[in-house]
């Protein structure tokens, strides 16, 4: 089973959308196996966004992700990484299709509400930045047989 890291970013928390965004992923059928609220410090933000270091938007991105509380969650599904990315929509909300989180609820690339890992390898690394192994729960879900056949 694949796992992916989801962050409900500070703009989503400030706009009162956090629960609704978690709910959209739950309703899709993804299984939530870890969840916490925290405020990212700059060291953690640098590790999360290391691949963007040096880009013109990097400092603004670090300021943004550290600017208020976020939710960090781990979701599980057979293709969790791709399913979450497609549910979020394009990075730039102006390009995101209606029906996606960003396409329905956001306008600006600098305030795009959510983060989802972009590969299985990055998901593993990113989950490790936010959760210890014992914070990720392994539990049966009665609805599973109605979601996957
Ligand atoms: P992703 O979040 O869809 O994976 P990435 O390219 O990994 O997109 O970029 C990480 C985050 O950096 C984006 O979600 C967005 O918040 C921010 N970002 C990316 N490109 C720009 C930009 O051109 N201007 C401002 N912020 C950007
Ligand atoms: Mg990314």
Domain spans of the chain, in order of start: 2-133
Using CB atoms within 10 A of its CB, is residue 53 exposed (0-12), middle (13-18) or buried (19+)? exposed
Query: What integer pLDDT is reported at residue 30 of this predicted model?
Result: 98
Residues 115/131, Cβ–Cβ less than 8 Å:
no
Catalytic residue among 10, 100, 115, 131: 115
Query: What integer pLDDT is reported at residue 60 of this predicted model?
Result: 98
Is any ligand 1 atom within 6 A of the Cβ of residue 111?
A: no
The 10s digit of each residue's pLDDT in 18-68 is: 999 999 999 999 999 999 999 999 999 999 999 999 999 999 999 999 999
Rounded to 10 deg, the angle between the 80-88 and 18-28 helix axes is 130
Mean pLDDT of all residues in 61-87: 98
Query: What integer pLDDT is reported at residue 127 of this predicted model?
Result: 98
Query: What integer pLDDT is reported at residue 99 of this predicted model?
Result: 98
Structure tokens at 113: 């509400």
Q: Which one-letter DSSP state was computed for residue 100?
A: B
- Is 52 an annotated catalytic residue? no
Query: What integer pLDDT is reported at residue 94 of this predicted model?
Result: 98
The 10s digit of each residue's pLDDT in 98-130 is: 999 999 999 999 999 999 999 999 999 999 999
CATH for 2-133 is: 3.30.70.141
- Which residue from 5, 47, 57 has its CB within 8 A of the most atoms of ligand 1, so it is best to mutate? 57
Query: What integer pLDDT is reported at residue 35 of this predicted model?
Result: 98
Residues 6+ apart with CB under 8 A from 76: 1, 2, 3, 30, 31, 32, 33
Phi, psi of 103 (to 5 degrees): -70, -25
pTM for this prediction: 0.98
Query: What integer pLDDT is reported at residue 145 of this predicted model?
Result: 95
């Amino acid at each position: 089973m694949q796992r992916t890291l989801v962050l409900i970013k500070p703009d989503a928390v400030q706009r009162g959308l956090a629960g609704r965004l978690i709910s959209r992923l739950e309703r899709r059928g993804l299984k939530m196996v870890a969840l916490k609220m925290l405020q990212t410090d700059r060291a953690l933000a640098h590790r999360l966004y290391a691949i963007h270091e040096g880009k013109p938007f990097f400092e603004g991105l670090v300021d943004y992700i550290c600017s208020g509380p976020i939710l960090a969650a781990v979701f599980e599904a057979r293709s969790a990484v791709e399913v979450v990315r497609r549910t979020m929509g394009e990075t730039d909300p102006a390009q995101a299709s209606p029906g996606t989180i960003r396409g329905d609820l956001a306008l600006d690339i600098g305030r795009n509400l959510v983060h989802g890992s972009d590969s299985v390898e990055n998901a593993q690394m990113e989950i490790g930045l936010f959760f210890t192994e014992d914070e990720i729960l392994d539990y049966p879900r009665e609805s599973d047989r109605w979601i996957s056949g």
